[in-house]
Amino acid sequence: MAYKDMTVLIVDDFVTMRRIVRKILRDLDFENIIEAEDGLAALEVLKTTKVDLVVSDWNMPRMTGLELLKEVRGSDKLKDMPFLMVTAEAQKENIVEAVKAKVSNYIVKPFTAATLEEKLAKIVPR
Amino acid sequence: METLFDRLVNGVIDGPDDLGGIGECLNILDELESQNGSAKPVQKKIEKVRLIFKRLILEESSDPDKDWRMVRDLLSSLQDPPGEEEEASSQTGAVDSGGGQQSLGEDDEEDFFASAVVDSGEDGGQSEPVASKGGSGQWDGESGELQDPELLKDFIEEAKEHLSTIEMNMLGLETNPSDTEAINAVFRPFHSIKGVAGFLNLFEIHELSHEVENLLDGARAGKLAVTDSMIDIVLVATDILKGLLEELERGGSGRREASPAVKGFLEKVKSFGRDPVVDAGIPMRRPVGEILVERGILDDKTVPEIAQKSKSGGKKFGEAVIDEGIASPREVSKALREQRHNIETAQSVRIDTRKLDNLVDMVGELVIAQSMVLQNPEIEKAKDQKLQKDCGQLNRITAEIQRITMSMRMVPIKNTFQKMIRLVRDLSKKSGKETQLLMNGEDTEIDRNMVEEIYEPLVHMIRNSVDHGIESPAQRVAAGKNPTGTIIISAEQKGGNIAIDIEDDGRGLDAKRIREKALERGIITEEDSLDDRAVLDLIFHPGFSTNDKVTEVSGRGVGMDVVKKCIERLRGKIEIANRFGQGASFQMKLPLTMAIIDGMIVRIGAERYIVPTIALKESLKVSREAYFTVQGKGELVKVRDSIMPLIRLHNYFREEPLHRDPWEGLLLVVIEGQNSYCLLADEIVGRQEVVIKSLGSLFEQLPGISGGAILGDGKIALIIDVKGIISLYEENSK
């Protein structure tokens, strides 16, 4: 599927960060971009909307990215969802936990459109 | 077990790139280990596989293909019978290699361990710059859009907002240092700020938030204790960050290198975890007996008796009290907690409150005067680095002075709460009921002027609870309840507000009877269809009282309307939560202080106005399609699924707006009672805590305006009274 036909869900509690990720995704020709402010809000979106890719931050109030990932993988409907975790250099080690929980891939902040594209190529069939 | 091995070896993983497969494999290894905890060589191998996997996952492997081969060999060797395992490992001595791995040869073996050691050391440091170099290298091409001034502006706003929650949470940590959720709540904003700063190339902010984040991460993991000095460091860092953000706001560019002041502080943060921290000595403890007497659980006479018993029985005082059945374990543990808390409280000096109020006023003026100087065009134009830096320093100091002065006015709500104990006791006695009063969060602090203001509403509500809520012991027993009724008052700080709950386990509010009464009194008509919440809200209507009897304590119609008015005068809110038959709870939300409000500054035409943030649900821009007019209902706006009336603020203040079209301007969504409204302004200027100034008696009754405040540039902005504006609107549309 071409990026422009895919629906991406950005999950981050920081509005500015969501806008940055949105900009970078736009650069890669993504057009359908939805935002959620934490894991719980993301689950609500996933319940009602068909999403093709989740780009989620790790540390959020109410429900973290890891908890969201586990919910997604535990759901029959969503378990194959491409799920990209955004992490900080200092918290990179935690990614092993996310890998165990079947994260599709991860990306370290700050990242560029090129790095993101590289990661997406690994997890989203085009 | 067999099947696990089969799954492991028969290609769960596609290759070093297959994170999903690696995850699956790691999970199988965990499972294997838990089943097979005894065999050491197996465990060692599993450890080794984990190490390589980690390297592959973190992209720190120097040769992924080689690592991949090694993992495959290790995995297949895991399947070998345990006997051979032992042999193989004893042959190679300390270095544990599986049968399969020998095929890799000596070099590989050494190489593997060499890189494994490096992995935890220099290698981590090596790979990091590579990653970030890649980032900043390609950045320049895109920096055009990431240096988007609007993005930067929004980031500053958002970061400031998050920093203010840090302060609140830090103060909470001061009373309860082990509250992990609070540590997390402080950690998160630093983490997010760091993340965005990385994208926006804001070096100083990035570095500073990074170091503080590390510090807090240590606290989160339990490696560092949350001490007073740590709290101080985080608070200072918060102030410095605020200063840096303000510098950015004034057009600073976010230096590539930390300024000396920030550098010094960074060093301090970095060394924090290393230096042992010695906490101050132990002050005198207050006896538990004394605390229990103060709470009315013990009386003076019984204290020596119990002290005697506790001595002869070799028990602690608290235990003796419980044994005697005088106090519940819960009450004693609360007293013990208070005892501990008191140890932490510092010594105090009495100060005339007028002096304190003067000081607060003068600090307010100082902050304003400072902003006037700093926002003077001459100063803003100045290119002098030193001047810029000194201004930043001045800013930080005044902010700290302001914080300290405000905190000097804060007193625990405990004294007010404790007055209620007596009240409940007296009321219960008079009405022949049995009621106990429990308290939570009595250490929550509130402006001392507010304390006096909330006393009356509290008394009213407690009276109502005892008189109308709690049933007689006979009625309670008949309803299957404990004959003793319970009232719980609790206080909690939430952001810049204090939430006070009064909860009882009495009969609750009877919606049916309230409706009947309201009909009887002509407050509503038969045609009015109201949901339960709206019916409950009727008790706030003037002159409403469901209790038929005029009692000595409550009188008739010492209504909730008085309470509501009083709370609204304090710019607060009150809500009811009701479980009919099970009890009712009243929740008050009040600002922590009367002197300052958190306000959104908006522009309407040429003037700026302040909307109290507590009244705001959200602010947004809408598309042209969301706006429409309906005959008889005027202008409406659709926000998501709800339709709400549009109120043009410029009409009320006779301003010539920049935008007449609602989709051009800014909409502020506010809630009043059951309804939402959209207020139309031109744009948001910023969010700021402002010191409220009275407009004097002449303008006191001005509808729609609740006061004024002096902004940073010395100009006056009026504070909008949202409730007033809405009632004006409702009157006009009738």
B103-115: pLDDT as tens digits: 333 344 444 443 4
Cβ-contact B37, B25 below 8 angstroms: no
**Fold designation for B353-409:** Helix Hairpins (1.10.287)
CB atoms < 10 A from the CB of B232, how many? 12
Spatial contact of B109 and B97, defined as CB atoms under 8 Å apart: yes
- Which tokens in the block code for residue B261? 């002041």
pLDDT of residue A90: 66
CB B56 within 8 A of CB B16: yes
Among the partner-chain residues A91, A100, A110, the one whose CB lies closest to the CB of B198 is: A110
Residue B611 pLDDT: 92
CB contact under 8 A, A100 and B26: yes
Considering only CB atoms, which chain A residues are within 8 Å of B17?
122
* B35 min Cα distance to partner chain A (Å): 18
Q: Are B626 and B608 in contact (CB under 8 A)?
A: no
CB of B689 within 8 A of CB of B597?
yes
Neighbour-count burial for B636-671, b at 16+ CB within 10 Å, e otherwise: bbebeeeebbbbbbbebbebebebeebeebbbbbbe
Give the tens place of pLDDT for each residue, A57-78. Answer: 988 888 889 999 999 999 888 8
Handedness of CA B409, B413, B415, B420 (dihedral sign): positive
Give residue B79's pLDDT: 65
Residue of A nearest to B152 (CA): A16
How far is Cα B602 from Cα B343, in angstroms, rounded to an integer? Answer: 46
Tell me if B522 sits within 8 A of B537, measured CB to CB. no
Closest Cα in chain B, distance from residue A119 (Å): 11
Side-by-side strand order, sheet with B666-672: B616-620, B666-672, B675-681, B642-648, B634-639, B627-630
Of B23, B188, B191, the CB nearest to A101: B23
* Residues forming a β-bridge with B151: none
Instruction: Give the Å distances, CA to CA, from B321 to B328, B329, B331, B337.
Output: 8, 9, 10, 16
Q: Which of residues 30-49 of B touch A (CB under 8 A)?
A: 30
CA distances in angstroms from B642 to B116, B292, B636, B665, B673, listed in the order given: 59, 53, 10, 19, 15
Is the Cβ pair B187, A59 closer than 8 Å?
A: yes
Residue B96 sits at the chain A interface (C-beta within 8 Å)? no
Which chain B residue shows the shortest CA-CA distance from A60?
Answer: B188
**A101 vs B contacts (CB less than 8 Å):** 23
DSSP string, B242-297: HHHHHHHHTT----SS--HHHHHHHHHHHHHTTS--------PPPPHHHHHHHTTS
To probe the interface with A, which of B57, B71, B119 has the most A CB atoms within 10 Å? B57
Contact criterion met (CB < 8 Å) for B188 and A96: no
Rounded to 10 degrees, the C-alpha dihedral B640/B646/B647/B650 comes to 100
Residue count of chain A, please give it: 126
- Do the domains spanning B148-272 and B412-591 agree at the CATH topology level? no
- Domain residue limits, chain B: 2-125, 148-272, 288-344, 353-409, 412-591, 596-733
User: Does B142 contact A at CB distance below 8 Å?
Assistant: yes
CB contact (8 A) between residue B158 and residue A90: no
Domain ranges of chain A: 3-116
Task: Identify all chain A residues contacting B16, using CB atoms and an 8 Å cutoff.
Answer: none
H-only helix segments in B554-665: 560-569, 649-653
Which residues of chain B neighbour A27 with C-beta distances below 8 Å? 142
B198 reaches A (C-beta below 8 A): yes
Count contacts between A and B (CB, < 8 Å). Answer: 100
Please answer yes or no on whether B188 and A115 come within 8 Å at the CB atom.
no
User: CA nearest B137 in A: which residue?
Assistant: A112
* pLDDT tens digits along A85-114: 998 876 777 888 888 888 888 898 888 888
Question: Which one of B27, B123, B187, B192 would you mutate to disrupt binding with A, by most A Cβ within 10 Å of its Cβ?
Answer: B192
B379 by Cβ neighbours in 10 Å (0-12 / 13-18 / 19+) ranks as middle
Among candidate residues A19, A48, A50, the one with its CA nearest the CA of residue A35: A19
The domain B412-591 is classified under which CATH number: 3.30.565.10, 1.10.4080.10, 3.90.190.20, 1.10.1740.10? 3.30.565.10
Which chain B residues have a beta carbon less than 8 Å from that of A16?
Answer: 151, 154-155, 158-159, 196
B580 touches chain A (CB under 8 A): no
Instruction: Pick A17's closest partner by Cβ from B192, B210, B213.
Output: B192
List the alpha helices (DSSP H) in B273-413.
Answer: 288-294, 302-312, 317-323, 329-344, 353-374, 377-381, 385-408
Classify the complex by whether its ipTM is higher than 0.85, answering yes or no: no
Other C-beta atoms closer than 10 Å to the C-beta of B6 total 11
Smallest CA-to-CA distance from B418 within B451, B466, B378 is with B451
Determine the topology of domain B596-733 in CATH. Answer: SH3 type barrels. (2.30.30)
For the CA atoms of chain A, what is the radius of gyration? 13
Q: Which amino acid is at B624?
A: R
Closest residue in A to B211 (Cα) is: A90
Query: What element of type H or E holds B169?
Result: helix B149-175
B453 Cα to chain A: minimum distance (Å): 34
Angle at A32 between CA A31 and CA A36, to 5 degrees: 130
Which residue on chain B is closest to A26 by alpha carbon?
B145
Q: Is B576 on the interface with A (CB under 8 A)?
A: no
- B647, B680 contact by CB (below 8 A): yes
Q: Which fold has domain B148-272?
A: Four Helix Bundle (Hemerythrin (Met), subunit A) (1.20.120)
Residue of chain A whose alpha carbon sits nearest to that of B199: A110
C-beta of residue A84 within 8 angstroms of C-beta of residue A111: no
Residues of chain B predicted below pLDDT 70 = 1-13, 36-39, 79-147, 171, 175, 252-258, 273-287, 311, 313-316, 333, 336-348, 495-496, 543, 545-559, 594-595, 673-674, 734
Asked if B327 and B292 touch (Cβ cutoff 8 Å), the reply is yes
Give the A-side interface with B, CB within 8 Å: 12-17, 19-20, 23, 27, 57, 59-61, 88-93, 95-96, 99-106, 108-115, 122
Contacting residues of A for B198, CB less than 8 Å apart:
88, 109-110
How close are the terminal C-alpha atoms of chain B, in Å?
A: 78
**Integer Cα distance of B545 and B550 in angstroms:** 10
Summarize pLDDT for A1-27 with one digit per residue, the tens: 788 889 999 999 888 899 889 988 988
* Partners of residue A105 in chain B, C-beta under 8 Å: 19
From chain B, pick out residues whose CB is under 8 angstroms from the CB of A106.
19
Buried b (16+ CB within 10 A) or exposed e, B676-707: bbbbbbbbebbbbbbbbeebeeeeeeeebbbb
Query: Which among B240, B256, B242 has a CA at the least distance from the CA of B203?
Result: B256
Q: Residue A114: its chain B contacts at CB < 8 A?
A: 138
- Interchain proximity A89–B134, CB inside 8 Å: no
pLDDT at B694: 74
Please state which of the four CATH numbers 3.60.110.10, 3.30.420.40, 3.50.50.60, 3.40.50.2300 is assigned to the domain occupying A3-116: 3.40.50.2300
Q: How far is CA B224 from CA B53, B281, B316, in A?
A: 30, 20, 32
Q: Measured between alpha carbons, how far is B85 from B100 in angstroms, rounded to an integer?
A: 11
